[in-house]
Structure 1
Amino acid sequence: MSTVELNRFIVILIYGSLVLLSLLKLANPLKVNRKGNLWFGLFLFLWSTYWLDEIWSLIKGSQIEIHSILSVQFVQFLTPVMFYFSVLFFANPSFKFKWSDIKYAILPIFFLINLVLQRYGNFTDQSFFEFTFIGLILFQALFYTGLSYFTIRKHQKRIQQFSANTEGINLNWLEYIILILFIINIIYVIYNLFYDPTSLNAFINIAFLLVIYFVAYYSLKQKEIYPVEEKKLDEFISINEENESEEIKRKLIPDEELLRIKGDLEKLMEQEKPYLDSELNLIKLSEQLSVSTHHLSYVINTGFQKNFFQFVNEYRIEYAKKLLKDNTANKLSILGIAYESGFNSKTSFNTTFKKFTDQTPSEFKK
């Protein structure tokens, strides 16, 4: 098989995989993260249009440039926006568009005006429009991938306010997609500037195909990030917003009440050991303590100077240390100790243990 034939085969795989995956995300048979998956499916479908030229050229047997059609160019320009919207709804399913969000249409409108003027304007010098065309594409891509990256980072902090196990809901895979695509695009731009771009097509397409399979694996594997009813979800979001606000400095409860709840919480953690439940979250703990989630979050943040993730996992790590030191528990593997201590995977156990002790569990045991 020649390089050209290989590249054609890879292009077919890329386009077919993206269209199939977009349909799966739009159909969402598992009914999880509905809004996030809807926008992510639209993003994947728009992403697939970048290979339409090559697909139709293979079908027709001659070179066809679909990307030069005005409507196709405009739709492709919206690809980074669709990705950002999917990140927004993965991170906050209760997010609702407001009139102020009309700002997301500013760049697309400028791009559409530029396209129309470039196509139908009676201008002898097209260099300005061509430069603006490329500049808007690059700026839009960098701007929205940057926004997506910071939204994911904010989400990773938010979930630590109500969940003690963040693996599987931290959206790391979306963060990796951004970084991988950014690196691939840098390589592509550099190669186009200094080398023959046609020789890079097969390599770039293989890289994109691997990224698509990575996306397929993790996006289909993504479980419900907020497995709670909408009312509780709004509580979680509002708790996080309060913690980010200067108003957190005001007292939600009197000092006497704070000390009472703090004492009850320490007693519960020592005697009942709720941290051994791998599915423990702020709601479960607040129900066991018979206090509101807002008050419990305030007590943990203010009374212990920690977030929920840090507070619970400190207990888990201390319990794991006892098991690692205990000769009678030596029959347990590291994974067994992880499960006994309330962790739901060896990876999260190792990562958290290293974070709290600067040692891996194996190093500590030795």
Structure 2
Amino acid sequence: MVEVQFNHILMHVQCVFYIVAAFLILRKAKKIYLENYTGASLESLNWLFQFTLALSIFFSIALLKNIFKFTAYPDVAEWLKVGLILSELVIIFWYLYKALNNPALFRNIDSRLKLVSEIIFEDKNINPGVIREKEHNSTLLTLKQYMTEEMPFLNPSLTIQEVSKDIKIPVRELSVLINHNLEQHFYDFVNNYRIAYAMDLLKDASQNKVTVLEILYAAGFNSKSSFNTAFKKHTGQTPTAYRKSL
């Protein structure tokens, strides 16, 4: 029936719009996470992306099944239906496994966070005609002194909220200082200190027997891939190559 076909088309077009919207939101969320979180906290974002991708693949198979339903190959649609049922079970068990073994993944999402660009735009609207580019020297000095002396970057789950609480600077002001004035994401800002700390350990002759894996964990990283990426971005070399060149 034409009406049934039209309903199927309308339903799938709607789902496509929802999926596209979900990935656009995830892209914005990635920027927010990089501006406010580091290492371990980004696992929540990776989990959201993986789950959205899995659902997108599931929907693509469902779309293919419904296409075959209206062709001369309805048997293919039936086989795809069986595949969807099995896929659904896999997704459900995967979701439960993640929830039971990593409950923190579902508690690290703060919907109140905003992009720095939005914060700056709001500040300009509150004070029309005034560009709020204050002198941040004293604040920046306090921040750098805190990072050097207290070494909070050794915490793999460090957030901008924790730094704000320790140095008694509002999150809003601190976020603008790092992400806008220093033109760095909080993620990169913290990683610079971690890399400098790791480089000191790699250069230390007394640490020759310490493996690169042990050093990356000691420096506050929580995975070898993120450490290698950040180290190469900062030095142009891998940690192993850097150690051999000393």
The alignment's TM-score, normalised by the length of structure 2, stands at: 0.75
> Structure 1 residue 287: deviation in Å?
3.2
* Aligned sequence identity (%): 29
* Aligned residue type for 1:337: I
Pair 149,302 (structure 1): closer, same or farther in 2 beyond 3 Å: closer
**Is 1:273 equivalent to 2:151 in the alignment?**
yes
> Structure 1 residue 209: deviation in Å?
2.8
Q: Find 1:325's aligned residue among 203, 210, 214.
A: 203
Q: Find 2:32's aligned residue among 140, 158, 164.
A: 158
**Is 1:215 equivalent to 2:92 in the alignment?**
no
**Is 1:144 equivalent to 2:27 in the alignment?**
no
1:20-67 deviation per Cα after TM superposition (whole angstroms, max 9, x unaligned): xxxxxxxxxxxxxxxxxxxxxxxxxxxxxxxxxxxxxxxxxxxxxxxx
- Indicate the SS of the match to 2:43: coil
Pair 226,201 (structure 1): closer, same or farther in 2 beyond 3 Å: closer
* Aligned residue type for 1:149: F
Pair 207,363 (structure 1): closer, same or farther in 2 beyond 3 Å: farther
State the alpha-carbon separation in 2 of the partners of residues 311 and 207 from structure 1: 41
> Structure 1 residue 239: deviation in Å?
5.4
**Is 1:312 equivalent to 2:208 in the alignment?**
no
**Is 1:287 equivalent to 2:165 in the alignment?**
yes
2:5 — aligned with what?
Answer: 131
Between 1 and 2, higher relative CO (CA 8 Å, sep ≥ 6) is seen in 2
> Structure 1 residue 188: deviation in Å?
5.3
Q: CA RMSD in A?
A: 3.3
> Structure 1 residue 302: deviation in Å?
3.3
State the alpha-carbon separation in 2 of the partners of residues 133 and 286 from structure 1: 52
The alignment's TM-score, normalised by the length of structure 1, stands at: 0.53
State the alpha-carbon separation in 2 of the partners of residues 214 and 203 from structure 1: 16
> Structure 1 residue 360: deviation in Å?
4.5
Query: What does residue range 30-109 of structure 1 map to in structure 2 within 5 Å?
Result: none
Quick check: 1:160–1:309 contact (8 Å CA) kept in 2? yes
* Aligned residue type for 1:242: I
- Indicate the SS of the match to 2:44: coil
> Structure 1 residue 282: deviation in Å?
1.6
1:191-227 deviation per Cα after TM superposition (whole angstroms, max 9, x unaligned): 6358532344444433333333322223442412158
1:86 — aligned with what?
Answer: none
Q: Find 2:42's aligned residue among 163, 167, 175.
A: 167
* Aligned residue type for 2:193: Y
* Aligned residue type for 2:85: N
Quick check: 2:124–2:132 contact (8 Å CA) kept in 1? no
State the alpha-carbon separation in 1 of the partners of residues 241 and 90 from structure 2: 35
Gaps of 5+ in 2: none
Quick check: 2:216–2:224 contact (8 Å CA) kept in 1? yes
Pair 180,364 (structure 1): closer, same or farther in 2 beyond 3 Å: farther
State the alpha-carbon separation in 2 of the partners of residues 194 and 260 from structure 1: 74
1:137-195 deviation per Cα after TM superposition (whole angstroms, max 9, x unaligned): 1012111121112112211211222222233232x223223323333443554463585
Equivalent residue pairs, number: 231
Quick check: 1:252–1:295 contact (8 Å CA) kept in 2? no
Quick check: 2:33–2:42 contact (8 Å CA) kept in 1? no
State the alpha-carbon separation in 1 of the partners of residues 17 and 234 from structure 2: 35
**Is 1:206 equivalent to 2:86 in the alignment?**
yes
Gaps of 5+ in 1: 1-125, 228-232
Quick check: 1:162–1:308 contact (8 Å CA) kept in 2? yes
- Indicate the SS of the match to 2:4: helix
Larger-gyration structure (1/2): 1
